[in-house]
Amino acid sequence: MYYAFFIERALQDGRVPMDEIEDALIYWVRFSLYTDPFPFVLRKSLGFRLPWRTRLRGLLRGVRRRRQDIRRLRSEAEKEG
């Protein structure tokens, strides 16, 4: 997945600001939750050499965005049907 590749390369490079890495983690969590359960995503996130605070914020924000996606899709489906 693109976001996982970006995170790994950005951490290796060391010049990418941490807020951009956190944004990529948010998107990675959000889109990973479409196919994988949260415990699996959490375990995979431990593979990134991120500070715990950044990882936790990224996980929480990614889950929140995924939940917003679910709510939005449900409301759109109710309007159609």
Stronger pLDDT, 81 or 24, i.e. the higher one: 24
- Considering only CA atoms, which of 28, 39, 17 is closest in space to residue 66? 28
How far apart CA 44 and CA 57 sit, in angstroms, is 15
pTM, two decimal places:
0.91
Whether the CA torsion 63, 66, 1, 26 is positive or negative: it is negative
Q: Where are the alpha helices (DSSP H) in the chain?
A: 2-13, 18-32, 38-45, 52-80
Q: Write phi, then psi, for 3 (nearest 5 degrees).
A: -65, -40
pLDDT in tens, 1-58: 799 999 999 999 999 999 999 999 999 999 999 999 999 999 999 999 999 999 999 9
Q: How much is the CA Rg of the chain, to the nearest whole Å? A: 14
